Amino acid sequence: MSFAHADLEPKPGPDIVNAPPSLSENEYSPGVHYTEMDAQRMMSNDDDMIDPATPRDSEPASEADSLKDVLPRDRQQKTPTYDYAYEKSMSHTEAKLFYRHHQLMSRGPEGDRSSSNASRNHHSTSNIVSTPSDAGFANEVKDDGNRRASSTTPSSITGQPLISENFTVPIIQPGSIGSSHEAPLRTFDSHEGDSEAGSGDENASKAHFPAEQLGNHQGAAQVAADGNPVASELNVICRKLWGLLDRRSKYIGLSLQGPEDNPKDNLAWKIYPPPPEPAWDGGNEPGKTNDYQPTEQKQRKMGQNIGEDFDMAECFPLPAESSWVYKLDHNSVYQVYESDDAAGRNQPVVPIPSLRDFYMDLDAVIDISTDGPAKSFAFKRLSYLEGKFQLHTLLNEYQEMADSKKVPHRDFYNVRKVDTHVHHSACMNQKHLLRFIKSKMKKSPDEVVLFRDGKHLTLKEVFESINLTAYDLSIDTLDMHAHTDSFHRFDKFNLKYNPVGESRLREIFLKTDNYIKGRYLAEITKEVMSDLESSKYQMVEWRISIYGRSIEEWDKLAAWVVDNKLFSPNVRWLIQVPRLYDVYKSSGMMENYEQVITNVFKPLFEVTENPSSHPKLHIFLQRVVGFDSVDDESKAERRLYRKYPIPKEWSTKQNPPYTYWLYFMFANIASLNIWRKQRGFNTFVLRPHCGEAGDPDHLAVGFLCCHSISHGILLRKVPLLQYLYYLDQIGVAMSPLSNNALFLTYDKNPCASFFRRGLNISLSTDDPLQFAFTKEPLIEEYSVAAQIYKFSAVDMCELAKHSVEQSGFELPLKKRWLGSNCHLPGVAGNNVAKSNVPDIREEFRHETLVQELKLFRIGRYYTRMPGELTTPAKQQNIDEINFTPSSPISHKGNDVNHAVSKGANQVVEYPPNSPESKVMPFTGPKMQGIAGECGISPSPTPLPPSALLGESAPSISGTGSVGATVARPDDLPEQTIFPGIVHERAQRTNIPTQNSAGNDQDHGISDHGEFPGDVS
């Protein structure tokens, strides 16, 4: 091993003037010729070979000197991400420190005192880690401030590469995965002997005690204090990522899709028909979810007489007409105004971002997601997260199993599970549909079911026209499974909705708007509801279509639900809007794209203004969760326009792109939600199909303006967006069995990888009619995943809990299913008796997420400039809206656990002694999403550690700690992004307080207002 350049030979000559500078123990100057004797001095195991009289070169060579022997054509250009001279110097420094560390650690417990004494005579400084652990590290801190080295006998050295002169060795203790402890750095210099003799050298007593760090498990190279290029690059990356999170916060806050924005999450929200009372409340959980119960309430047994407990008369009287008005602006977005005068002045309550603004924000997301350094950073963080979970599993698997077994009554089968993505027209399995068709052919063969070609046809005549009888029908005859011939053939998959390949049978049995007004589909829907209620623990969110072909579709759909009494405590609805404008335009049904927007959203604004105008629609919307956008994502999107026209001018036969559809759905939902919340009605979220196939840029739209998405398998190709989905815990409803049949085989599905990395994923069935074989398709989805991905029982229960959290069920129901504090993050919100997820798993997930969010602590890496990345100017009007909810809804009650959000800038306050104030402290503008829940604030003032982790910051092992206090000068430059690296001036001036000297070793939290390792 040689540290001299291989292609450079030392120049011979006795003249001492021409001799190269000798090696200093902690310095290496790139571009300088070293003699063989210098290399031997450095490589020798005997420190006494180094002549202390040899002159030292105390100043490193300049960059010009280091490149003097490099041809201009071969000289690397200095860029923000690469500096050739710096890279070369760091490689040599790394090699030297590895050797020095090995040399020091190889000494036995009775180390050679002569070598130690010789090392004290060196003029340079070397920092060694002394960590209290079971490996035998010992540390002695004297009361008079002097420090002496104790003998060390490490059994193994693990941790980061020792690249900086300030290096630390992390200790991973059993049961403490997720929080790493680092011992104080100890400095050995030439004055140490004098210090031990009582000289009182001030420098000898100075030590830096770093806080709990993230970087010791990043594995990234540490750099010296002057490593500006690397620190600058990572600082830029952190700024960019936080900026993207801020943009998402703006859109989610504006559209009221946040966790506290929906009035139905208030404890006083009336659920009608009410859910059944719990059979057992566990002694602690409240049994009632409704403060108001209708008189003489009808009772029915779950699984029987679906809809008999619904009486439309109980829903009257309806709320009165609103004084607010609405109109469609020139950009085809419905705007809401407080009065006609405000509408005349074009002053909406909250202005919606324009199409241009939306695309500018979208381009910013796409540009950063394709940035090379940012992608590398995100990929390494995701790899670290996956490895960290595997390590957690190795150390805590048996403890998790033991905790799970201690829970009485609860197991995977009787924890609540929500099918977060299932299409209503395919909610039954093939055998169920076949049995229903045969039953109708046997009992009602002469019933008129179809009018076609000017003729009324009975059910018997329909089957005679296709030459089939009830006896001929079988699963193979129906041919509705999509397992063999539909891979990458979405056109064939759509044909699988036609029983026996006949569209007329689909119209009869699987449509809501047909000659018999969807009666057959309502009957089979009740049968599926009965099965769900009998299982008790399975819930669904069925997606049903509004095509936008006619403005009457909403009233027909609402009448179908209300007239057939399709109400069940296990069922909620989402509205899916197929992206089929090109089909409508080609058939001459409409002139431009604006007509689709009008047909989809105008009835919703009408019923919000005056519920009496569409009474059945008003009742149905109380069970509607949100909107979905569906179609084949793999279709090519050819851009014909340099600048997209407004919908009124989009009159070509080409379908608008995915991003165009999503913007106008978002914009109109945002306006609608503002009005509905002001009236005390439930609001809606946007949960589209996204990332199943096609352009990965679709995922950028999902990140920017959607509450959650379905599928998302293309996240595996865009690591930065995947990392952002993790940071904000955006819900992803994955359907591996569906993907296996259409776009991605099961073994390549990233579902298991996403779960290990900590993404907020849930399992869903998508289309049981095409993919399922059993009566319980959701259990089938879980069972296949458990077999293929080797999910444990705890993993399955965690996925089930995610599905409930992602779902649109009312918060009172979620509290009944998951515990009364389920809205709180981490262990505080976990009730193992309800979810069967051990606290150790929840604590690991939450602390890992909080540590990742510390990467983007504004006070450390990015100081917000005035006016930078702010919400629209008029967004603050949301705070000024006087929300007057209709009875019996009360948005703001006495329960401090619930606070209704008023936009992205609301500050949620709790009483000082409440549990929430300790778990979720907010010291600045609230960020929507998980960043806000964890208290990560974009305030320019750095938050103290207690403001982020609460008054106590327990590790995974459950042992809390209070950090030590370290003083620092006010004028120190920004710290580098790597852990354990402190600016050289901080090393000279940071002095631990006397009160914390005894606790620094174990806790190591500094009083910088920072966490020294919170970024890697």
Structural domains in the chain plus CATH codes: 244-272+352-428+534-829 (3.20.20.140)
pLDDT over 80 (residue 246): yes
Q: What is the DSSP letter of 537?
A: S
pLDDT number for residue 67: 54
pLDDT over 60 (residue 120): no
pLDDT over 60 (residue 999): no
More confident of the two residues 781 and 974: 781
pLDDT number for residue 682: 97
For residue 694, give the nearest of 629, 632, 630, 633 by alpha carbon: 633
pLDDT band at 977 (very low <50, low <70, confident <90, very high): very low
Dihedral (Cα; 377, 378, 380, 385), 10-degree rounding: 140
pLDDT band at 855 (very low <50, low <70, confident <90, very high): confident
Helix axes 793-806, 777-789, angle to 10 degrees: 130
Per-residue model confidence as pLDDT tens digits over 723-778:
999 999 999 999 999 999 888 999 999 999 999 999 999 999 999 999 999 999 99
Give just the sign of the alpha carbon dihedral 402, 403, 404, 405: positive
pLDDT over 80 (residue 624): yes
pLDDT band at 642 (very low <50, low <70, confident <90, very high): confident
pLDDT number for residue 833: 94
pLDDT number for residue 229: 61
Non-local (6+) Cβ contacts of 913 within 8 A are: none
Rounded to an integer, what distance in angstroms lies between the CA atom of residue 141 and that of residue 1001? 10
Average pLDDT over residues 919-943: 39
pLDDT band at 96 (very low <50, low <70, confident <90, very high): confident
Rounded to an integer, what distance in angstroms lies between the CA atom of residue 51 and that of residue 31? 23
More confident of the two residues 992 and 236: 236
pLDDT number for residue 576: 97
Helix axes 36-43, 84-105, angle to 10 degrees: 50
Rounded to an integer, what distance in angstroms lies between the CA atom of residue 209 and that of residue 954? 19
pLDDT number for residue 488: 76
Non-local (6+) Cβ contacts of 501 within 8 A are: 479, 495
295-334 as b/e, with b when 16 or more CB fall inside 10 Å? eeeeeeebbeebbebbeeebbeebbeeeebbbebbebbbb
Per-residue model confidence as pLDDT tens digits over 681-692:
999 999 999 999
Judged by average pLDDT, the poorest of 578-582, 602-606, 611-615, 852-856 is 852-856
Contact of 633 with 314, CB cutoff 8 Å = no
Q: Residue type for 96, please?
A: K
pLDDT number for residue 88: 64
Per-residue model confidence as pLDDT tens digits over 774-821:
999 999 999 999 999 999 999 999 999 999 999 999 999 999 999 999
pLDDT over 70 (residue 415): yes
Percent of the chain whose pLDDT exceeds 70: 60
pLDDT over 60 (residue 960): no
More confident of the two residues 123 and 310: 310
Maximum mean pLDDT: which of 304-318, 565-579, 911-925: 565-579
More confident of the two residues 467 and 14: 467
pLDDT number for residue 413: 95
pLDDT over 60 (residue 598): yes
Catalytic residues: 711
pLDDT band at 281 (very low <50, low <70, confident <90, very high): low
More confident of the two residues 199 and 668: 668
Average pLDDT over residues 837-853: 95
pLDDT over 50 (residue 189): no
Q: Which two tokens stand for residue 602?
A: 């105008």
pLDDT over 60 (residue 653): yes
pLDDT band at 230 (very low <50, low <70, confident <90, very high): low
Helix axes 372-405, 839-853, angle to 10 degrees: 160
Average pLDDT over residues 976-992: 40
* Residue-wise DSSP of 317-329: SPPPPPS-EEEE-
More confident of the two residues 877 and 433: 433
pLDDT band at 358 (very low <50, low <70, confident <90, very high): very high
Q: Residue type for 460, please?
A: K
pLDDT over 80 (residue 966): no
pLDDT number for residue 56: 43
pLDDT band at 955 (very low <50, low <70, confident <90, very high): very low
pLDDT number for residue 728: 95
pLDDT over 80 (residue 213): no
pLDDT number for residue 100: 73
Dihedral (Cα; 280, 283, 285, 290), 10-degree rounding: 60
pLDDT over 50 (residue 83): yes
Non-local (6+) Cβ contacts of 639 within 8 A are: 657
More confident of the two residues 279 and 459: 459
Asked if residue 915 has a cis previous peptide bond (ω within 30° of 0), the answer is no
- Please indicate, yes or no, whether the overall pTM of this predicted structure exceeds 0.75: no
More confident of the two residues 108 and 904: 108
The two beta strands, 708-711 and 731-734, are: parallel
Percent of the chain whose pLDDT exceeds 90: 51
Instruction: Supply the mean pLDDT for the chain.
Output: 73
Per-residue model confidence as pLDDT tens digits over 867-911:
333 333 333 343 434 433 333 333 333 333 333 333 333 333 333
pLDDT over 50 (residue 926): no
pLDDT band at 453 (very low <50, low <70, confident <90, very high): confident
More confident of the two residues 942 and 665: 665
Average pLDDT over residues 918-941: 40
Rounded to an integer, what distance in angstroms lies between the CA atom of residue 250 and that of residue 938? 13
More confident of the two residues 492 and 392: 392
pLDDT over 60 (residue 661): yes
pLDDT number for residue 285: 46
